[in-house]
Amino acid sequence: MRVLILFILCFPLIVTAQLNKDSIMIKRMSDEIMNNGKAYDLLRELTKNIGGRLAGSPEQHNAAIWGKVNMEAFQPDKVYFQACKTPNWKRGGKDYAAIVSVNGKPLNKKLEVMALGNSLSSKGLIEGEVLAIADFDELEKRKNEVKGKIVYYHSILDPNEIEAGKAYENAYSYRSDGPSRAAKYGAIGVMIHSLSTASDNEPQTGDMEYNDSFPKIPAIALGPIDAKNLYAQAKKSIIRVQLQTYGYFLPDADENNVVAEVKGTLFPDEIITIGGHLDSWDVNEGAHDDGTGVVHTMEVLRTFKALNYQPKHTIRFVLFANEENGGKGGLKYAELATQHKEKHVLALESDGGGFTPRAIGIGCSTDQLKRFQTWNPLLKHYGTEIVAGGGGADIEPLVSADKNVILTSLIPDGQRYFDLHHAKTDVFENVNKRELLLGAVNIAAFIYLVDQYGVGIN
């Protein structure tokens, strides 16, 4: 009732009868998902039966087949693979690090660690004195002390930052660029504080990238507790650490984006894309990252078909092959879109986890955003509002195919995400069924509105 009153006040552009129709349709979708949703069961299959899915692994290969078979069962107009070459990094062994002496006094304190993704083997056990530094500014100031040492970056996520995702972004460059920036000054290895908000001691992996100009030194993430202890200790003592990593690359792998398509009745050549990425890191089940985005995508397809919704625009439901270490899935999707001269209206990515949805983020002009925000009264009951800023690694390349495409994302509550992101704790048990399903409800509602009313740029 409150929703209907709000319509009248806030929806000048669309007549009330239509809004009532939209409200009813969104409620039908919500009931279908909250009652009969398959997202949670699908996620259990993907995480428990298939498991972690790094590009190049048998699991990732199986996941694509699983995605295709399951989307076919929902009977869209077609389901197909987009073949795609991806990096093929292997961890290669059980990463190891230990403090072996403090101020010359022998010790053997094993540390909880994980090699960073794409990092290379240490080629045996290496040992060095730790140079513990706060940030890149300190690295530059102390560059003459780096040679022959193992640099530790105290890359904690700022606890004062209310948006955990923003704290992650601010610390990200220590993981991605930290190793080469230290190698430039002669470091023999790099350790970082895991980009984690957790109170536990689980290390978190994630992509890093070597600068080819400098030696490719081994790089590991420490568990948060070990990292904080090491940092405190290294400030007042001389600490020596041993570490060993085993990373290597095989020749690029053959993976597949999985694309399901429902043809538009009025604008069959105008495409709306919804997607998440199938791949995950090797150390967990890739439940929140990004199993939940995958099953959100599948659930919206299932729901549209279950309710016999015939979209005006062509809608694509895409499970991207490779996001974590290379982003080759999204690049391939964009490459084919360019090749086929496709017109892309809007794309939405779900890659923020399966937590309670808080917003739909949209990257567009202020005027357009205001227009989208007239839909807020229809979404509010389901927990979201439309806010500025959208995108996602898998859909961003699409701008190269159609510069008018509007990039959007589901924005779930982010407080728990960086507790388990890229850690072994990102497992099915840490996904809540209602939170997961609510994400699909809000994506379905938003995509329905986009399909009905377009994006106002034509």
By CB under 8 A, name the binding residues for a second copy. Answer: 30-31, 34-35, 40, 159-160, 162, 164, 197, 199, 356, 381-383, 413, 415-416, 419, 432-435, 438, 441
**Cβ 429 to a second copy, closest distance in Å?**
10
* Residue 203 beta carbon to a second copy: minimum distance, rounded to whole angstroms: 18
The smaller minimum CB distance to a second copy, of residues 9 and 17, is found at 9
Q: How far is the CB of 18 from a second copy (least distance, A)?
A: 22
Between CA 90 and CA 84 the distance in angstroms is 18
Nearest residue (CB) to a second copy, 64 versus 441:
441
| Complex with a second copy: residue 92 or 389, whichever CB lies closer | 389
Shortest approach of a second copy to residue 413 CB, angstroms?
A: 5
Q: Which is nearer to a second copy, 30 or 374 (CB)?
A: 30
Q: What's the closest the beta carbon of residue 448 comes to a second copy, in angstroms?
A: 17
166 vs 235 by CB, closer to a second copy? 166
Nearer to a second copy, 59 or 289 (CB): 289
Sequence-ordered list of residues with C-beta below 8 angstroms from that of 96, at least 6 positions apart, any chain? 110, 113, 125, 242, 243, 244, 245
**Least distance from C-beta 185 to a second copy, angstroms?**
32
Task: Name the residue nearer to a second copy (CB basis): 120 or 441.
Answer: 441
Nearer to a second copy among residue 91 and residue 154 (C-beta): 154
User: Which CB atom, from 210 or from 417, has the smaller least distance to a second copy?
Assistant: 417
What's the closest the beta carbon of residue 10 comes to a second copy, in angstroms?
16
